[in-house]
Amino acid sequence: TQTCSCCGCISLNSPKGRAGLRIREWSCSECGAVHDRDVNAAKNILALGYERLAVGIPVL
């Protein structure tokens, strides 16, 4: 939830640590995008999944 799903940077404004769990919305200091914490995390997880699929899944 700390990485901006728009530009990929970890902003100084992003929520950090246990105290940051109460912060539900934050804005990226690099690109200015405003994020809902949960939606931003979901977008980052989805992007990582697509990235892994593009590379291919190794045979177990």
Q: Domain-by-domain residue ranges, the chain?
A: 1-55
For tokens 């899944």, the residue is: 57
In tens, the pLDDT along 23-55 reads: 889 999 999 999 999 999 999 999 999 988 888
Contact 22/3 with Cβ under 8 angstroms? no
Angle at CA of residue 45, ends 30 and 59, nearest 5°: 135
Q: What is the pTM of this model?
A: 0.78
Please give the pLDDT value at position 3: 92
| pLDDT at residue 18 is higher than 90 | no
